[in-house]
Amino acid sequence: MTDDSAPIDVQVETHRRDGVRTRVTRTSTGVKSDRAFVLVAGVGVAATYFEFLAPLLAEHGEVYSLDLPGFGGVPASGEQPTASFFADQVEGVLDAYGLDDPVLLGHSMGTQVVTEVLSRRPQLSHAVLVSPVVDESEANALVQAVRFVQSTARESIHIALLAFSAYLLCGMLYFLEVLPHMLRYRISDRIGLGRARLLLLRGEFDRPSPRRLHSRLVARAHEARRWEIEGAAHCVVNSHAVGVARLVVRHIDDDLPVKGRMPAAEAAVPPAAHADLSMVLGAMASRFAEWISAARRDEGGVERAKARHAKVLWRAYRPKG
C-alpha cells in the first residue's frame, strides 16, 4: 500500500455530544494537508470496514473513521436511531475537530447519514456515497435481506468474518431497531438538499444498491458523478479499497469524468507483499483483541489493538524492495 518512510499513526478517541458517545479513529501518515476525510460505515458494522481504505486516504489527509452509537461496541444512546440522529453525532465530530470542509464518505446506510449532514451544511464541497441504500421500490426487509445475501455470495470470507464480528457487537436487537428507520429513509428525496459535488460509487454485483437507484440519485443531486467498479459487490470499500481511494482522490481534484467503470484489476486490494505466518497471526490477534476490548467497553484496549492492526497491515502491504 505504501512504504515505511511515512509511518502510520492511529489514535482512537471518544467524542461525547449531550452524553452520546461516538468513537473516532484518526489515521494519519504525517502528510501535510488541509483536506480531511470522515468515513461513516453502514448499519451494524464499524470502522473496521475501512481498514484498507483509511491508510490509503491518509496519504492525502488525516482520516476520521467513526463508530456511531450502538455500533462497534459503542453503547447505544436510547434515542431513536434515525439518519437524523446519527447525522447529529457526525456534526458533533466535525465541530469538535474543527473540520470545516472535510470529504464525507458514507457506505451503505452511512450514505443516508452523510446525505443528512450535507443537507445541513451547504458549505461542504465534496462527498462520496458508496453503495447508497435503499432503493425505494424495494424498501422491504425481506427483499433487502435477499439482496444482501445475493451480494454476500460475491464477497470474501474475510469480509464475511468482519461483518459477523461487527453484528455481534451491535446485537440483533439494536440492529432490528435501526433497520426500519433505514428502510423508511428516502434518500432520493433528500439528496438534492445538499450542494456538495457527489461521487456515487457501487460494485458491479452490488444488489442492495442497484444501477437504477444511482440513476435516480444522479438525476436529483445538485452535481454528481457515478462510477462502478467491476467485480466488486456491496463491500467495495474493503475488497476494492485501492480503486475507491483512487476515485475519491480524483473526485476531490475534479479530475474524474462524470461516468465510468474501473476494472477490478486496478481496484482490488492486492495480496500482501510481505505475507507470512507471523503477519497473518499478528493481524488476527490484533483484530480479536479489538473485538474483545470493544465488547468489554475497554476503549484503551480498542486503541492499542487498532494501532497494532494498522501497523501490521502497513508493513505487510508496503511495496517490496
Segments making up each domain of the chain, as ranges: 9-271
Distance CA 238, CA 256 (A): 21
| Amino acid (1-letter code) at residue 48 | T
Q: By three-state DSSP, how is residue 23 classified?
A: strand
| Residues paired with 38 in a beta bridge | 64, 104
Report the C-alpha gap between 232 and 154 in whole angstroms: 8
Give 271's contacts (C-beta < 8 A, 6+ positions apart). none
CATH superfamily for 9-271 is Alpha/Beta hydrolase fold, catalytic domain (3.40.50.1820)
Q: Contact, 57 vs 248, CB < 8 A? A: yes
Question: Which residue in 103, 188, 205 sits closest to 152, CA to CA?
Answer: 205
Per residue in 113-163, pLDDT (tens digit) is 999 999 999 999 999 999 999 999 999 999 999 998 999 888 888 888 888
Mean pLDDT, to the nearest integer, of 91-105? Answer: 97
pTM: 0.92
For residue 197, the cross-strand partners are: 126, 223
Distance of alpha carbon 269 from alpha carbon 320, whole angstroms? 16
Q: Are 52 and 239 in contact (CB under 8 A)?
A: no
Question: Could you tell me the maximum CA-CA distance found in the chain, to the nearest angstrom?
Answer: 52
Give pLDDT tens digits for 210-267: 999 999 999 999 999 999 999 999 999 999 999 999 999 999 999 999 999 999 999 9
Give residue 15's region: left, alpha or beta (phi > 0; psi -120 to 50): beta
% pLDDT > 70, the chain: 97
Contacts 24+ apart (CB under 8 A), 183-189: 183/134, 183/139, 183/140, 183/141, 183/144, 184/139, 185/82, 185/83, 185/112, 185/134, 186/136, 187/111, 187/112, 187/115, 187/132, 187/133, 187/134, 187/217, 188/136, 188/213, 188/216, 188/217, 188/220, 189/220
Range from 8-17, 60-69, 292-301 that averages highest in pLDDT: 60-69
Give yes or no for residue 320 having a pLDDT over 90. Answer: no
Cβ-contact 201, 224 below 8 angstroms: no
Residue 188 has pLDDT above 80, yes or no: yes
Q: Determine the 3-state secondary structure of 75 from DSSP.
A: coil
Q: List the grid coordinates of 201.
A: 460509487
Distance of alpha carbon 126 from alpha carbon 146, whole angstroms: 32
Q: Tell me, what's the pLDDT at 317?
A: 74
